Structure 1
Amino acid sequence: MIYVVATVRWIPDGQLCPTVPNRSNYIHWIEDLLSSDLIPRISNSSETVRGFDIGTGANCIYPLLGASLLGWSFVGSDVTDVALEWAKRNVESNPHLAGLIEIRNANEAPCSSKSETVAEEAVRENTSEPVDSVVRSIAPIFVGVVKDSESFDFCMCNPPFFESMEEAGLNPKTSCAGTAEEMACPGGEQAFITHIIEDSVSFKNSFRWFTSMVGRKANLKLLVSKVREAGASVVKTTEFVQGQTARWGLAWSFIAPRKNVIRSSTPGKVHHSFMLQGLRRGNGAFQVLKSAETFFCASNLSCKTDSLSFSIDVTLSDEQTQAATLDGDDLPGSVEDDSTKVHSTVTGASFRISVFEQMPGTLLIKGSLLNKSLSGTFTSLFSQLEETLKTEFVSKDR
């Protein structure tokens, strides 16, 4: 059973044709960053999560995915007439999402008072090496595009990976064509992301998280160093693996993290995910969802399945929760010491399993702990679920 929630109807010849799974993985990683509560929300931000897509492209893939899967609102920016025209067409072809997505021309954005302070503030903060001519030649990213008093929960970017189209053509892992503006820029991805980092210093109070995809692992360490030099309070990285393609995610924030979250984040993760690739013929999201339900029911856990959203809410009984606590599971967020923790009453420990269709034959299985208790038990159960579903649904010859 497949639900199509957004469509990309038009991509003109020569424009980048995106593969959806890696883009979806990026969206879900940002979802994990936002739900972690490590960085508090900006005080004047609305309840709706708001994102800024740098270089949205003719396909407008990230805003369409984020709006359709998660109900987020977006501003997508670009610099070429072709990308702007077709991005608007793809938004308009999804009228149920059109109110959530705005497309902006980065070359024609009104001047912002912040544009006069970018270089000055970078020097004042003693952030990094002086901006060289390569970085200066890159089109505007935030300056003049983000409006005064405007705030976002995050920005995201799939930057031009190469320094030239010749370099792109020599790369054996380049899987699809694209325009020069999409695939190459002076200095490549290192210069482009450096420009984002330098701009972020002046917009530190306008974004909760700054993020970018990175195409080369060799660049990641250098870019992390630049982010730290810029004075970021938190830096996060991740790896996206889809088939034989690997990309990396870089995220940073200048907002002070919550102290209680820092203290409690060590014991265990509250978000997990894995991919089911190469599903056997006749199997899809519905069959996987029902198998997951059977797995948890066999462990005497309470399950509430929603077939419309392809999700299961799993709840431990009070007795199971207390048993896990006495066995030494962690209670992130607890202020009790070890001598009193086992005597506390923890109830309603639950988590959610969601199944997302990525493309024919590929599913993303995601688990999220719905409260602050029993992260160790959740991690163990999710690992067992992954092994069970891969054994049941994935072809052995993969």
Structure 2
Amino acid sequence: MGGGRKRRRGGSEAPAIHPRNRYATPAPDFAALASLYPSFAPFVSVSRGGRASIDFTDFAATRELTRVLLLHDHGVSWWIPNGQLCPTVPNRSNYIHWIEDLLKSDLIPPLSSSNKTRGFDIGAGANCIYPLLGASLLGWSFVGSDVTDVALEWARKNVENNPQLVDLIEIRNANKMSCSSESEAVVGEADRENTLEPVDGVAWSKPETLNFCMCNPPFFERIQEAGLNPKTSCGGTAEEMVCPGGEQAFISRIIEDSASLKNSLRWFTSMIGRKANLKLLVSKIREAGASVVKTTEFVQGQTARWGLAWSFIAPRKMVVRSSTPGRANHSFMLHGLRREYGAFQVLKSAETFFHASNLSCKIDSSLFSIDVTLSDDQAQAAMFLDESDSVEGVSTKLHSAVTGSSFRISVFEQMPGTLLVKGSLLNKALSDTPLLVIKA
């Protein structure tokens, strides 16, 4: 369960456990925990070399380890009945710390001046692990939703057994949220808060926004797929592990729902169990009109998961003067693009960004150009190109504009995989105005 980096084939380094994760270094000491917690001792074996370990294929051992880690390191009392999904604390902590990074980032501006962080956990489960970790580690408040009686009962028990967290975590039945799917509970939550309608008999005193939502979705399409890993036994009911279409369909529904919220949530996030699904889901998020997409990899021991985050809020802009003032025309090349990233797709991505930034723009498909007009009070616009990433996230690369009333961006295909992007001022009177470079 230890941290540290591992070498991939070819010598490159795999991502390590999150550096702020309590279990990054050192790894949990099973022998020490066994001496402190007698109930854990029967599950610990010591090799001839003195290395203590547990049998991760034993659900009871995995559950007791989770209970002990939450109590010892987080002061959280916790339990789940047999068969319910048993989370690993280090892996789930990675997700919490990644969201913390997103919220602290200057990339997306805060939705309000409040210093309080409020999140929504889609499918909290009986274990209620994310609200418990987020509240105990960072003092965040949570709404956790679920759909089964057992999950709701035990999630509430796990909250009530921790008086220090009771005021920070609320568990709600997604079936009573007037939503057609559990993922739509996020939409219902924000809509109710914005309209001050009562929820479960309690009315909100003022409009409130959510900083983020998170989800550990059902990874599998069939229950038979859930037990394919012979090295672990994490339990899990069919409701927790399986849904029609698997995680791809479940997260796609969240993406569809997120388009209805737009600026009501700062970040939408989900864990992903299969890397093969990442590319398709990122494409769906782009199509939904998100302004920013972020991905990461969660590594803990032999287990790898991926994180996906997106936002519809216009990125915060940092303005830096160009070293070449006075130019009315600028250009750059995009190299190494995949076939699906043609000139028109790049223009549509740019249009999405400008609309998200509340700029007026119009595409001319015949000329492969887009004209952008700034209002009088929009003093800043510019060109953004992240050359460190030539392919992924093209829609966040092409953020081009200049100070003035209007400008044009044209995209030309030079050869397969290579595009020439040109930006020019349409107001000639502004030709002496320095170009501004905006980096999100």
Same fold (TM over 0.5): yes
1:160 corresponds to 2:160 = no
Give me the whole-angstrom Cα distance separating, in 2, the residues matched to 1:219 and 1:88.
33
Paired residue for 2:115?
Answer: 47
Give me the whole-angstrom Cα distance separating, in 2, the residues matched to 1:148 and 1:38.
25
Asked whether the equivalents of residues 37 and 261 of structure 1 are also in contact (C-alpha less than 8 Å), the reply is: no
Question: Identity over the aligned pairs, expressed in percent?
Answer: 77
**Shift, 1:37, TM fit:** 1.8
1:64 corresponds to 2:129 = no
Give me the whole-angstrom Cα distance separating, in 2, the residues matched to 1:172 and 1:235.
34
Larger radius of gyration: 2
Paired residue for 2:84?
Answer: 15
Asked whether the equivalents of residues 183 and 254 of structure 2 are also in contact (C-alpha less than 8 Å), the reply is: no
Spell out the pairing of 1:279-318 with structure 2 (5 A cutoff): none
Which letter maps to 2:78?
A: R
Give me the whole-angstrom Cα distance separating, in 2, the residues matched to 1:173 and 1:214.
20
Paired residue for 1:84?
Answer: 152
1:106 corresponds to 2:174 = yes
Asked whether the equivalents of residues 141 and 196 of structure 1 are also in contact (C-alpha less than 8 Å), the reply is: no
Go from structure 1 to structure 2 and tell me whether the alpha carbon gap of 1:262 and 1:233 turns closer, same or farther (over 3 Å shift). Answer: farther
SS at match of 1:32: helix
Asked whether the equivalents of residues 183 and 253 of structure 2 are also in contact (C-alpha less than 8 Å), the reply is: no
Asked whether the equivalents of residues 291 and 310 of structure 2 are also in contact (C-alpha less than 8 Å), the reply is: yes
Paired residue for 1:227?
Answer: 285
Paired residue for 2:395?
Answer: none
Which letter maps to 2:141?
A: S
Query: Which whole-Å deviations, capped at 9, do the CAs of 1:254-303 have from their partners, x for residues lacking one?
Result: 0001111899xxxxxxxxxxxxxxxxxxxxxxxxxxxxxxxxxxxxxxxx
Go from structure 1 to structure 2 and tell me whether the alpha carbon gap of 1:173 and 1:157 turns closer, same or farther (over 3 Å shift). Answer: farther
Give me the whole-angstrom Cα distance separating, in 2, the residues matched to 1:37 and 1:143.
25
Query: Which whole-Å deviations, capped at 9, do the CAs of 1:210-239 have from their partners, x for residues lacking one?
Result: 000000000000000000110000000000
Give me the whole-angstrom Cα distance separating, in 2, the residues matched to 1:84 and 1:262.
51
Give me the whole-angstrom Cα distance separating, in 2, the residues matched to 1:75 and 1:262.
40
Paired residue for 1:28?
Answer: 97
**Shift, 1:138, TM fit:** 6.6
Query: Which whole-Å deviations, capped at 9, do the CAs of 1:39-62 have from their partners, x for residues lacking one?
Result: 01113x632111111100101100
TM-score (normalised: structure 1): 0.56
Go from structure 1 to structure 2 and tell me whether the alpha carbon gap of 1:93 and 1:103 turns closer, same or farther (over 3 Å shift). Answer: same
1:251 corresponds to 2:309 = yes
Asked whether the equivalents of residues 147 and 182 of structure 2 are also in contact (C-alpha less than 8 Å), the reply is: no
Which letter maps to 2:300?
A: Q
**Shift, 1:83, TM fit:** 0.5
1:237 corresponds to 2:295 = yes
**Shift, 1:139, TM fit:** 6.5
Which letter maps to 1:233?
A: S
Which residue of the other structure, out of 106, 122, 128, is the alignment partner of 1:37? 106
Give me the whole-angstrom Cα distance separating, in 1, the residues matched to 2:127 and 2:313.
32
SS at match of 1:75: strand
Which letter maps to 2:220?
A: F
SS at match of 2:144: strand
Asked whether the equivalents of residues 198 and 230 of structure 1 are also in contact (C-alpha less than 8 Å), the reply is: yes
Go from structure 1 to structure 2 and tell me whether the alpha carbon gap of 1:93 and 1:138 turns closer, same or farther (over 3 Å shift). Answer: closer
**Shift, 1:206, TM fit:** 1.6
**Shift, 1:6, TM fit:** 3.6
Asked whether the equivalents of residues 175 and 182 of structure 2 are also in contact (C-alpha less than 8 Å), the reply is: no
SS at match of 1:142: helix
Give me the whole-angstrom Cα distance separating, in 2, the residues matched to 1:137 and 1:61.
21
Query: Which whole-Å deviations, capped at 9, do the CAs of 1:307-326 have from their partners, x for residues lacking one?
Result: xxxxxxxxxxxxxxxxxxxx
Paired residue for 1:180?
Answer: 238
Go from structure 1 to structure 2 and tell me whether the alpha carbon gap of 1:262 and 1:96 turns closer, same or farther (over 3 Å shift). Answer: farther
Give me the whole-angstrom Cα distance separating, in 1, the residues matched to 2:166 and 2:246.
32
Go from structure 1 to structure 2 and tell me whether the alpha carbon gap of 1:206 and 1:174 turns closer, same or farther (over 3 Å shift). Answer: farther
Which residue of the other structure, out of 194, 198, 219, is the alignment partner of 2:256? 198
Asked whether the equivalents of residues 239 and 248 of structure 1 are also in contact (C-alpha less than 8 Å), the reply is: yes
**Shift, 1:7, TM fit:** 2.1
Asked whether the equivalents of residues 147 and 175 of structure 2 are also in contact (C-alpha less than 8 Å), the reply is: yes
Which residue of the other structure, out of 137, 142, 145, is the alignment partner of 2:186? 142
Which letter maps to 2:84?
A: Q
Give me the whole-angstrom Cα distance separating, in 1, the residues matched to 2:102 and 2:286.
18
Give me the whole-angstrom Cα distance separating, in 1, the residues matched to 2:163 and 2:182.
33
SS at match of 2:110: coil
Which letter maps to 1:67?
A: A
Which residue of the other structure, out of 84, 90, 93, is the alignment partner of 2:161? 93
TM-score (normalised: structure 2): 0.51
Which letter maps to 2:100?
A: E
Paired residue for 2:247?
Answer: 189
Which letter maps to 1:200?
A: S
Give me the whole-angstrom Cα distance separating, in 1, the residues matched to 2:98 and 2:143.
19
Query: Which whole-Å deviations, capped at 9, do the CAs of 1:145-204 have from their partners, x for residues lacking one?
Result: 442414111111000000011121235466421100111100000000001100000111
SS at match of 1:95: coil
Give me the whole-angstrom Cα distance separating, in 1, the residues matched to 2:81 and 2:297.
30
Give me the whole-angstrom Cα distance separating, in 1, the residues matched to 2:181 and 2:169.
28
Which letter maps to 1:194?
A: S
